[in-house]
Amino acid sequence: MLRIRHGRLIDPASGHDGVADLWIDGGHIAAIGRAPKGAANAREINAKGLVVCPGFADPGSHLREPGHEHKATIASEARAAAAGGFTTVCCTPDTQPVLDNASVIEHITQRAVAAGAAQVVCLGALTVGLGGEVLAEMHALKAAGCVGVTNLGRAVKDTAVLMHALAYAASAELTVFLHPEDYWLARQGTMHEGAVSTRLGIPGIPAAAEVIAVHRDLTLLAEAGARAHFCKLSAGDSIKPIAEARKRGLPVTADVGIGNLCFTADDVGSFDANYHVRPPLRDARDRAALRRGVRQGGIDIIGAYHEPHDADAKAAPFGLTEPGVSTYDTFLSSLLQLVADGAFDLPTALAGASLAPHRLLGQPGGTLDVGAPADVCAFDPAVRWHVTPAALKSAGKNTPYLGQTLTGRVMFTLVGGRLVHQL
Amino acid sequence: MATPDIQLDAHGRLRHFLAIEGLPRALLIQILDQAERFAPVGDRAVKKVPLLRGKTVANLFFEPSTRTRTTFDLAAKRLSADVLNLNIEASSTKKGESLADTLRNLEAMQCDMFVVRHQVSGAADYIARQVAPHISVINGGDGRHEHPTQAMLDAFTIRRLKKSFDALRIAIVGDVAHSRVARSNIQALRTLGVPDLRVVGPKTLIPPGIEAMGVTVHDDLDEGISGADVVIMLRLQQERMQSALLPSAHEYFREYGLTAERLRGAAKDAIVMHPGPINRGVEIDSEVADGTQSVILQQVTYGIAVRMAVMSMAMGTQAQTGAA
Amino acid sequence: MKPAFDIELLIDDMAVHLRRMLDAAEIREPAIVGIRTGGVWIAERLRTMLQIAEPLGELNIAFYRDDFSRIGIHPTVEPSSLPFDVDNRDLILVDDILYTGRTIRAAMNEIFDYGRPRSIRLAVLFDRSGRELPIQADVVGAHLSLKPREHAKLTGPSPLNLEIHRTKSA
């Protein structure tokens, strides 16, 4: 038995928020507050001054293995995730080979177990090789344990193929993770189309590329009867149609990447490739709408969308660099900064980072309910730390925060009651 | 977040010349004045001054351009520098590491200055951040971003012919969306104090939010050049003449081509400029291109003096930094 | 500190010497070139006195200096101008103070980039010690004897005055 003493327990599922002891036994939450039976010999961890909450989960991160081990490995990123407060992460299918068959999943699962850090679940490919033409064996992927299917940002150009893929996923009872983006409008762009792209002469991606894809996908989903999750919303105008569809009874959810809540296209400044992300950072109006979406519930999840890169991936002029930010290490600090800025309150932030993504992935964590798995994170909300490459646990050092001082660090993380990270 | 301006040293002197954006008016004036001093060198028996003797300038052209390379080449030679011309296939530098390798190699050859032209916006900025501290980088055009020496030679031409920038009406006509010349000119002419700056073109060739750069937008040519003292025509790239952006070169000429008749709507003593090479009968009628109001060939001549000015100023700053 | 020189008188003297020199060499159509800034002031006066027909030449030797690597480019304004054909011309090169000789070296280099003169004669208002190159003047207004840390500077254009400054010990 383990007793986590004197922490501020925040459990978005039950609404609990207050200083109490958390009791863990046999890998599960045993009690909150008063000692359960057999507590006499419990080990103790002092959590005074810390926030204790359910561990975070992530709707899709690039763990880079197999195939891109020069960027990162499952072991390095599962450990980085645990250090960032994540107890479950979700591996995207853009591995090499592509995660479109069961054998790759086996490999990933083995590596994740060996790493003994955050748990790893997998998203399968919607189409073979993510090529957007031939449907992947979704029943087999589901049987192998995939929590959903996605074609990531590789747009299915042919609308007929997309409709069929959605219908087939519906019959396989798999959630489709959609990255809405019109291929033709986004094709040449590498940043948000607006005053900054005009000034820098960088080909732009208009917000319309996302908004029309959201409308198209919602229409197709209603036809196909599929359950879907919209990933990485970047445009404010994408939120309303999804919320309205949900009101009509469509089983759809949505998330926003942490970066799009924190930054805008202005941050690209003069060609800073650490702000090259896909979908792009948009303008201040979009960012305000996304924050409002989280606050009001139109957006359920705040995603890490961790994309570790090797140094070469960012060593080029902006448009030739690979998009993505390494986020696991800084996710909590970003979240706390957003709370401090008044974007939303702390329980909302924690619900969006833990409870909601666990539900999306069909995983039992994300709550401190008695009997739930003891996937727990404890963080110091006030400690300040300096972001250096060495301070980052992830193999990817590609973050715009390098050189800055951030507030808030995860002090320890439990997965199934086992201590997988301690600072 | 604004990244620090790497173009200037701690004393505000020019180290690299990457973009007009961010440079103070006084520095632009200094470049124009310096160019005035280099201009007469071209009229002498020996068209050369020994200022950069013993220095090596490498022209790094990732995108083919005979004309711009030639004027940089000539400018460097008139300063007595040794010139190395490298045409680097774009395909071999798609990956960051080989670009970095190229730079390391040129540094190992002890070059002092890189003149860079690249098809991707931000390339000159990136290279300037990568090179050894004693090397100066001059942007010879990066993607759609900037072509700052072209803007300075345009400003030089305008100042010679119109004396002052304070009361000018200037129209930039054509494919603004894909034009680094347009962006640099807007930045330079705004900084130099031109009060009325307009961009003119069909909506498909005007990028969104360009008003934020301090211009007014017109999609009617006659309205756009009405009363203008200077009309800067942009080159229409071949691949856009018949595309999803424009139906045909013929229709473009009918709507946006500058003819003698339409030029009558500008100021009586208006000058017509073009960065070259010109497409006769597409953006400009031969009668105008060869007419008395055209200063297109003067631009070419002045381009050499302006590039000499920029090269010697940047190299001079670097030389001092290195010696300090 | 103001040394007692009547500069106008010295220039008169220089004109006499130059006239004698030109006559002896049978030079009928010389041209006169001043080095900016002080040399131009003196050359202007000499040109009038010697009744030289060709317009005044002016040299700004900024592009020919040998200290570019140490101090970069000079932000001076007026460019050089030699408004006559230099080829086969007999030139009188004029400067205010002859010191290290480097300015004269640079000026001669620049002149040769305009053409090949038949001859160059050097006239200076003051000659002071401290030569670093084997260059001597043909005509000198006066000799200054200065210590190493003393610097002379001509102010003008009218009246012309010589100022001597002493720099603090190094």
Q: Which residue of C60, C63, C78, C81 to mutate against B (max B Cβ within 10 Å)?
A: C63
Greater confidence (B124 vs A37) lies with B124
Sign of torsion over alpha carbons A388, A341, A360, A408: positive
CATH number of C7-63+78-166: 3.40.50.2020
At residue B63, the pLDDT reads: 87
Residue B25 contacts A where some CB pair is shorter than 8 Å: no
Report the residue of chain B nearest A283, measured CA to CA.
B209
Residues of B in contact with A266 (CB under 8 A): 1
Please indicate whether, in this complex, the C-beta atoms of B316 and C73 are within 8 angstroms of each other: yes
The whole-number average pLDDT for the span B218-246 is 93
Compute the distance between CA of residue A412 and CA of residue A4 in angstroms, rounded to an integer. 11
The whole-number average pLDDT for the span A381-401 is 97
At residue C156, the pLDDT reads: 85
At residue A109, the pLDDT reads: 93
Greater confidence (B242 vs A192) lies with A192
pLDDT, one tens digit per residue, over A73-126 is 999 999 999 999 999 999 999 999 999 998 899 999 999 999 999 999 999 999
Using only the alpha carbons of chain B, give its radius of gyration: 19
Buried b (16+ CB within 10 A) or exposed e, A46-85: ebeebbbbbbbbbbbbbbbbbebeebbbbbbbbbbbbbbb
Report the residue of chain B nearest C78, measured CA to CA.
B37
Report the residue of chain B nearest A272, measured CA to CA.
B3
Position A147 pLDDT exceeds 90: yes
Which residues are CB-contacts of B264 (< 8 A; sequence separation ≥ 6)?
none
CATH number at residue B126: 3.40.50.1370
Q: Which residue of B60, B102, B139, B145 to mutate against A (max A Cβ within 10 Å)?
A: B145
Residue B34 contacts A where some CB pair is shorter than 8 Å: no
* B:C CB pairs within 8 Å: 62
Query: Per DSSP, which regions of A99-142 are E strands?
Result: 119-125
A135 is a domain residue? yes
At residue C148, the pLDDT reads: 78
Buried b (16+ CB within 10 A) or exposed e, A124-155: bbbbeebebeebbbbeebbebebbbbbbbbbb
Residues of B in contact with C105 (CB under 8 A): none
Please indicate whether, in this complex, the C-beta atoms of B208 and A203 are within 8 angstroms of each other: no
Amino acid sitting at position B44: R
DSSP reduced 3-state for A56: strand
Please indicate whether, in this complex, the C-beta atoms of A198 and B210 are within 8 angstroms of each other: yes
B 86-145 near A (Cβ less than 8 A)? 94-97, 99-100, 118, 120-123, 125-126, 130, 142-145
Greater confidence (A22 vs B97) lies with A22
Q: Looking at CA atoms only, how far is residue A403 from chain B in angstroms?
A: 13
| DSSP structure string for B25-81 | HHHHHHHHHHHHHHGGGGGSSS----TTTT-EEEEEESS--HHHHHHHHHHHHHTT-
Please indicate whether, in this complex, the C-beta atoms of B50 and C64 are within 8 angstroms of each other: yes
| DSSP structure string for A5-42 | EEEEEEETTTTEEEEEEEEEETTEEEEESS--TT-TT-
Please indicate whether, in this complex, the C-beta atoms of A202 and B210 are within 8 angstroms of each other: no
The whole-number average pLDDT for the span A343-362 is 97
- In this complex, which chains have at least 3 CB pairs below 8 Å with chain C? B
Residues of B in contact with A314 (CB under 8 A): 96
When CB atoms are compared, the residue of A197, A201, A312 closest to B180 is: A201
C 46-105 near B (Cβ less than 8 A)? 60, 62-64, 68-73, 75-81, 86-87
A141 is a domain residue? yes
Give how many domains chain B has, as a whole number: 2
A298 is a domain residue? yes
Compute the distance between CA of residue B17 and CA of residue B113 in angstroms, rounded to an integer. 11
In this predicted structure, which of A365-379, B196-210, C136-150 has the lowest mean pLDDT?
A: C136-150
Average pLDDT, chain A: 96
At residue C129, the pLDDT reads: 85
In this predicted structure, which of B130-134, B155-159, B186-190, B239-243 has the lowest mean pLDDT?
A: B239-243
C-alpha A221: how far from chain center: 23
Asked if B136 contacts B315 with a C-beta cutoff of 8 angstroms, the reply is yes
Of residues A65, A56, A49, A48, the one with CA closest to residue A3: A48
- Residue entry with tokens 């009405």: B226
When CB atoms are compared, the residue of A202, A203, A269 closest to B3 is: A269
A296 is a domain residue? yes
pLDDT, one tens digit per residue, over C86-141 is 999 999 999 999 999 999 999 999 999 888 999 999 999 999 988 999 999 999 99
A367 is a domain residue? no
B123 is a domain residue? yes
> Could you tell me if B101 and B162 lie in one domain?
no
Asked if A70 contacts A79 with a C-beta cutoff of 8 angstroms, the reply is no
Residues of B in contact with C86 (CB under 8 A): 45
Residues of C in contact with B50 (CB under 8 A): 63-64, 109
Compute the distance between CA of residue B55 and CA of residue B51 in angstroms, rounded to an integer. 9
Report the residue of chain B nearest C76, measured CA to CA.
B34
- In this complex, which chains have at least 3 CB pairs below 8 Å with chain B? A, C
The whole-number average pLDDT for the span A416-423 is 95
For residue B129, give Cα distances in angstroms to A48, A214, B135: 46, 39, 10
A 82-141 near B (Cβ less than 8 A)? none
Task: Tell me the percentage of chain A whose pLDDT exceeds 70.
Answer: 100
Give how many domains chain A has, as a whole number: 1
Q: How many helices (H) and strands (E) does chain A have?
A: 13, 18
Bond into A241 cis (ω within 30): no
Greater confidence (A98 vs B240) lies with A98
Q: Where are the alpha helices (DSSP H) in chain C?
A: 7-24, 38-50, 68-71, 102-114
At residue A40, the pLDDT reads: 83
pLDDT, one tens digit per residue, over A329-343 is 999 999 999 999 999
Q: Looking at CA atoms only, how far is residue C142 from chain B in angstroms?
A: 33
Of residues A114, A87, A172, A112, the one with CA closest to residue A375: A87
pLDDT, one tens digit per residue, over A219-245 is 999 999 999 999 999 999 999 999 999
Please indicate whether, in this complex, the C-beta atoms of B208 and A321 are within 8 angstroms of each other: no
Please indicate whether, in this complex, the C-beta atoms of A270 and B145 are within 8 angstroms of each other: no
Report the residue of chain B nearest C65, measured CA to CA.
B51
- In this complex, which chains have at least 3 CB pairs below 8 Å with chain A? B
In this predicted structure, which of A387-391, B16-20, B160-164, C150-154 has the lowest mean pLDDT?
A: C150-154
A237 is a domain residue? yes
| Region for B170 from its dihedrals, namely left if φ exceeds 0, alpha if ψ lies in -120 to 50, beta otherwise | beta
Report the residue of chain C nearest B319, measured CA to CA.
C69
Q: Where does the pLDDT of residue C169 fall: very low under 50, low under 70, confident under 90, or very high at 90 and above? A: low
Position B1 pLDDT exceeds 90: no
Q: Looking at CA atoms only, how far is residue A56 from chain B in angstroms?
A: 29
| DSSP structure string for A329-390 | TTHHHHHHHHHHTTSS-HHHHHIIIIIHHHHHHT-S-S---TTSB--EEEEEEEEEEE--GG
Please indicate whether, in this complex, the C-beta atoms of B316 and C114 are within 8 angstroms of each other: no
Residues comprising chain A, all counted: 423
Q: Which helix (H) or strand (E) holds B149?
A: helix B148-162
* A:B CB pairs within 8 Å: 93
Q: Looking at CA atoms only, how far is residue B57 from chain C in angstroms?
A: 16
Average pLDDT, chain B: 92
Compute the distance between CA of residue A53 and CA of residue A179 in angstroms, rounded to an integer. 29
pLDDT, one tens digit per residue, over C19-76 is 999 999 999 999 999 999 899 999 999 999 999 999 999 999 888 888 887 778 776 6
At residue C2, the pLDDT reads: 54
When CB atoms are compared, the residue of A196, A201, A312 closest to B97 is: A312
Position B323 pLDDT exceeds 80: no
C16 DSSP 8-state letter: H
When CB atoms are compared, the residue of C70, C72, C115 closest to B45 is: C115
At residue B89, the pLDDT reads: 66
Report the residue of chain B nearest A191, measured CA to CA.
B121
Asked if A141 contacts A166 with a C-beta cutoff of 8 angstroms, the reply is no
B138 is a domain residue? yes
Pairing of strands A86-91, A119-125: parallel
- Asked if the interface predicted TM-score (ipTM) of this complex is over 0.95, the answer is no
The whole-number average pLDDT for the span B99-125 is 90
Position B2 pLDDT exceeds 60: no
Asked if C80 contacts C58 with a C-beta cutoff of 8 angstroms, the reply is yes
Residue B92 token pair: 């071999």
At residue C165, the pLDDT reads: 87
Compute the distance between CA of residue B156 and CA of residue A166 in angstroms, rounded to an integer. 61
The whole-number average pLDDT for the span A48-54 is 97
Compute the distance between CA of residue A269 and CA of residue A200 in angstroms, rounded to an integer. 9
Q: Which residue of B17, B31, B44, B56 to mutate against C (max C Cβ within 10 Å)?
A: B44
When CB atoms are compared, the residue of A193, A200, A314 closest to B122 is: A200
Compute the distance between CA of residue C73 and CA of residue B13 in angstroms, rounded to an integer. 11
Residue A187 contacts B where some CB pair is shorter than 8 Å: no
Q: How many helices (H) and strands (E) does chain B have?
A: 11, 9
Domain that holds residue B154: 148-300
Q: Which residue of B34, B136, B318 to mutate against C (max C Cβ within 10 Å)?
A: B34
Residue B276 contacts A where some CB pair is shorter than 8 Å: no
Residue A71 token pair: 């960027």
Which residues are CB-contacts of B144 (< 8 A; sequence separation ≥ 6)?
A201, A202, A203, B121, B177, B178, B179, B180, B183
The whole-number average pLDDT for the span B271-292 is 95
Compute the distance between CA of residue B139 and CA of residue B116 in angstroms, rounded to an integer. 5
B2 is a domain residue? no
HSE, CB side, 13 Å, CA atoms: give it for residue B32: 22
B91 DSSP 8-state letter: G
CATH number at residue A98: 3.20.20.140
Q: Where does the pLDDT of residue C170 fall: very low under 50, low under 70, confident under 90, or very high at 90 and above? A: very low
Q: Looking at CA atoms only, how far is residue B323 from chain C in angstroms?
A: 6
B262 is a domain residue? yes
Residue B175 contacts A where some CB pair is shorter than 8 Å: no
B4 is a domain residue? no
Residues of B in contact with C72 (CB under 8 A): 13, 313, 316-317, 319-320
At residue B322, the pLDDT reads: 58
Asked if A179 contacts A229 with a C-beta cutoff of 8 angstroms, the reply is no
A113 is a domain residue? yes
Compute the distance between CA of residue B304 and CA of residue A331 in angstroms, rounded to an integer. 52
pLDDT, one tens digit per residue, over A106-119 is 999 999 999 999 99
Of residues A287, A257, A153, A275, the one with CA closest to residue A202: A275
When CB atoms are compared, the residue of B122, B142, B208 closest to A198 is: B208
Residues of C in contact with B317 (CB under 8 A): 72
At residue C3, the pLDDT reads: 57
DSSP reduced 3-state for A101: coil
Using only the alpha carbons of chain C, give its radius of gyration: 16
At residue B290, the pLDDT reads: 96
C63 DSSP 8-state letter: G
C-alpha B131: how far from chain center: 22
Residue A279 token pair: 């979908």
Position B96 pLDDT exceeds 80: no
C 99-118 near B (Cβ less than 8 A)? 109-110, 112-115
B5 is a domain residue? no
